[in-house]
Amino acid sequence: MSTRRTERLSEVVKQEVSKIILYEMNDPRISFITIIKADVAPDLKKAKIYVSILGDEAAQRMTMRGLEHARGFIQTELGARLKVRYTPHLEFCLDESVKKSMHISKLIDDAIKSSDTTMKSEQE
């Protein structure tokens, strides 16, 4: 059950983690990353950060390792920016939804193209 407070904190965590990654970090492993969503636990002690990473699987693995390596730094910076008693323990999760939606969109486009060519050949 999500309360209004956890929803607000989730949005703030998402924004602040995005800013920290974008402006504070200089790790070359972390690139082409988008923070999709942050879910803060009801006790406000844990937060899952869902990220989308552009690139192949090797680039995604390297970026996830970079994020895991920088988790302490990100948590420290987040704690300095938040006005809460506990800084949430961060867990980064790879979000595949963008990749899946692009794949489905491509399949739909391919199906439309093949049906168009089928209809043209039937008309001739």
Task: Report all structural domains of the chain as residue ranges with CATH numbers, in order of start.
Answer: 4-96 (3.30.300.20)
Residues 45 and 90 sit within 8 Å (Cβ to Cβ):
no
Q: 103 or 10: whose pLDDT is higher?
A: 10
Residues 32 and 75 sit within 8 Å (Cβ to Cβ):
no
Contacts of 30 (CB under 8 A, 6+ apart): 21, 63, 66, 67, 70
Give tens-digit pLDDT for 49-86.
999 988 888 989 999 999 999 999 999 999 999 888 88
Angle, CA of 96, 101 and 103, to the nearest 5°: 95
Predicted TM-score of the model (pTM): 0.78
Name the phi and psi angles at 107, rounded to 5.
-60, -40
